[in-house]
Amino acid sequence: MTESFRMGAREGFRAFLPLSVGLIPWALVTGVAMRSTGLSVVEAVGMNLIVFAGTAQLGTLPLIGAGAPLWLIAVTALVLNLRFLIFSAALAPAFERVPLLQRMLSGYLLVDGVFAIGAERMLASEDRDWRMGFFLAPSAYAWVLWQVFVLCGVLGAGALPQDWSLEFMATIALITLLAPIARARPMMVAALVGGVATVLLADMPLKLGMIGGIMLGIAAGFAAERWQSRGPAR
Amino acid sequence: MSEGPLLSGGWLWLAFVLIAVATHLPRGSFIVAGRRARLPESLQRALRYAPAAALAALVFPDMLLLDGRLDPFNPKLVAGLAAFGVALRWRNPWLPFIVGMGVVWLGRL
């Protein structure tokens, strides 16, 4: 470990620390939600270790609980994770000349918060070791924090009463993710159209209505962006 | 805990693996492939709307449908809107859960 790796690690950790507090309720809720969907402790811990993605876990749990077809579960997870394609593309230059194994580990660890605090500074730094420290330290910390508090949720879930509609906490967790995104007007349009269309198409078989709703939402957001930038005369 | 045709045994683990693949392929994609690959600009811009549309597609039915039928006048819609408003207005990560669940519980009294 070089001196500049250590320096990057310190700075990355310090930048991510305040944001990391927000992971805690979300991790607890994910743990509780996995148990209240009917997963055993081993299954819940297993899912959390191999998937390690709050949004994808919370988003697919209702489908798992309803016994939805596997392909729909996979497609839903993929759609919820498409943002990582963009994050990954944006960060790629910062990982040039980094060994393959470290790049694969970095891919597994990539989460929204670290991208949010780190992308700009990582891309601006010329020092490869500093960049890796700056990325890996907060990412590893986020992983540990996530695993610990999900485990608390998983183990604590059994102590909670069953008739308190606790599964709605998963919905609230998704709403708190949606809120900051939906601030921008075209994003709000994408969300409204995607949500309403999914409700209206709810009768379609195999939950196809959800895929259709999402596609309509993406199209509407894209259209709203173009309409906003070209804009009719105000 | 819940009753329903939950996926079980091997199918459940297969579902986990599929979700993991659907997570780690996009995460690793360009970081692992390096600079050789690039995403077309227009596709990148359209994909920015995928999370918003997908999150709403998951959340709206939870708030608006009751046993598969449209039922807009229920405590969960009010709770969801309240949680959304709180999340927009304050940065406290606990508050949306407290307010949202509070409304759900109040609605059952």
Residues 29-68 of B with CB under 8 A from A: 29-35, 38-39, 44-65, 68
B2: nearest Cα among A210, A157, A47 = A157
Q: A178 contacts in B (CB within 8 Å)? A: 52, 55-56, 59, 84
Q: Which of the four pLDDT bands, split at 50, 70 and 90, describes residue A118?
A: confident
Residue A135 has a pLDDT of 97
Q: A112 contacts in B (CB within 8 Å)? A: none
Cα nearest neighbour of B99 on chain A:
A172
| B103–chain A Cβ distance below 8 A for any pair | no
Tokens describing residue A161: 């009463």
Q: Which of the four pLDDT bands, split at 50, 70 and 90, describes residue A171?
A: confident
Asked if the Cβ–Cβ distance from B84 to A83 is below 8 Å, we say no
| pLDDT reading at A215 higher than 50 | yes
B106: nearest Cα among B69, B64, B78 = B78
| C-alpha to C-alpha distances, A187 to A47, A65, A182, B46, B63, nearest whole angstrom | 30, 29, 5, 11, 20
CB pairs under 8 A between A and B: 296
Pick from A25, A77, A192: CB nearest B22: A77
Using one digit for the tens of pLDDT, what is the confidence trace for A62-115?
Answer: 899 888 899 999 999 998 888 788 788 888 889 988 999 999 999 999 998 888
Cα nearest neighbour of A109 on chain B:
B27
Residue B6 has a pLDDT of 67
Q: B53 contacts in A (CB within 8 Å)? A: 190-191, 193-194, 213-218, 220-221
Asked if the Cβ–Cβ distance from B34 to A95 is below 8 Å, we say yes
ipTM: 0.80
Tokens describing residue B3: 């009753």
The more confidently predicted of residues A192 and A79 is A192
Q: At what angle are helices A54-65 and A168-181 packed, to 10 degrees?
A: 140
Residue A20 has a pLDDT of 83
The more confidently predicted of residues A209 and A133 is A133
Residue B1 has a pLDDT of 41
- Mean predicted confidence (pLDDT) in A186-201: 95
Q: Which of the four pLDDT bands, split at 50, 70 and 90, describes residue A21?
A: confident
